[in-house]
Each structure stands twice: as structure tokens, then as C-alpha cells.
Amino acid sequence: MPSLGRLHLITDTRPGRDPLAVLRAVLPVAHTELVVQVRVEDTATDRQAYELTRQVLALCAPYQVPCLVNDRLHVALATDAAGGHVGADDLPVAAARKVLGPAAVLGATAREPASALAAVTAGASYLGVGPCRVTATKDGLPPPIGVTGVRAVVEAVDVPVIAIGGVTAADVPELRATGAYGVAVVGALSGATDPVRAAAELVRALTC
């Protein structure tokens, strides 16, 4: 299984966003800690998800940055991505592990200790835990769990916990103090005026 970076960049494919431009900007300054999660809008076709994943993989390959595919595990398999990530409404973790095989990276979403433990038992390599704060990057999210919620999950499992949901570099010290391994971001990079500077600040906060 590829080593897991502390900064997960989730592609932002909402109208007006350019996920590949953001990735090109961020890779040179963040590649040592980067994991890229390809996430597309629910209305995107499998072909669109496949093509975006292929482009992301091509950009990441020179930097040896692992790429995961959210939700659409068949796209992860078809593109030879490093693995995938499943949310609460996607395939159960055990089924996802069966699809991807034992060597792939498999992330799962959790927000409290019981579901986190169940996901790890079923084969999750790491957990995406949140949302930490209110965020507009995805519809239908449950209320934020805050730092206290992240800490509760960290204390319950023995796999890396990646905090997600409205996270910025300013939040990283407090999240790291909970024992969280890293953070996943969307708007903190895709909406940044200077994504290079934003990525550098995130990496600095995660590694200091």
C-alpha cells in the first residue's frame, strides 16, 4: 500500500472551478505530503470521472503522488489508481475492500467512534472524519462534529484519521493536537487566491 500523505486534495469540479489548474499549482510545493482524491459531481458521467482521473494520474505520476477515486471504485480499477474512498451512502466498506483488493488504499467516511470502528474492522486503511466545520462544498452534510468529535474518533481507532470539512491551515494545529494524522481540503485550495501559498501553509502546519 502506498504511504499516506497528510494533505488530501479533493478535486473541486463545481462550475467555475478548474481542478487540474489547482493541482498543477499545488504539486511542486506539496507533493511530499499530498494525496489526491478525485471527486466529481453526482451528475458527472462515468466517462467524465474516468477522463479526469486519467488526467490527475498523469499530473501526479512524476511526483509519485498517490491518487484515489471517491465513490466510483470501478473508475479506480479502470485507471489503476492507488485506491478509493467510500462515503456513508456508497458501497459498504467490506464490499469496497472486496472490489479493490487487499493491497489498495481504501478510505471510509466516519463521524463517531462506533461507525469508525466498524469501518476499520471491515478493511478501511484510513478514515475521513467530519465535517469539522460548516462547509458549502458538498450538499446534504450532517452538522459539524468539531475538534471534540475528531478526537473521539482518533481515540477509538488505530488507523490514520484525516479531518475534513471547512479546514484551513489555521485549523491544523488544533486538529493535529487531537491526534489527527492529516487533513482533507477542497475550498481551502480550489477557492484560494494563491493556491501555491495556501498549499505551502497547509504543508508547513502539518509537518511542523
Q: Which option is the CATH number for 7-207: 3.40.50.2020, 3.40.50.720, 3.20.20.70, 3.40.50.300?
A: 3.20.20.70
Confidence of residue 38 (pLDDT cuts 50, 70, 90): very high
Binding residue per annotation — 40? yes
Residue 142 pLDDT? 81
Q: In whole angstroms, how far apart are CA 192 and each of 49, 121, 168?
A: 24, 37, 10
Checking 78-83 for CB contacts under 8 A at 24+ apart, the result is: 78/50, 79/50, 79/53, 79/54, 81/38, 81/53, 81/57, 82/2, 83/1, 83/107, 83/125
Q: Annotated binding residue at 158?
A: no
Lowest mean pLDDT among 68-77, 85-94, 132-141: 132-141
Residue with cell 489498495: 104
37 is in an annotated binding site: yes
pLDDT digits (tens, 9 = 90+) for 173-199: 999 999 999 999 999 999 999 999 999
H/E stretch holding 161 reads strand 161-164
Q: Write down the mean pLDDT value for the chain.
A: 95
Q: Annotation-wise, does 98 bind a ligand?
A: no
39 is in an annotated binding site: yes
137 is in an annotated binding site: yes
Q: Is 109 annotated as a binding residue?
A: yes
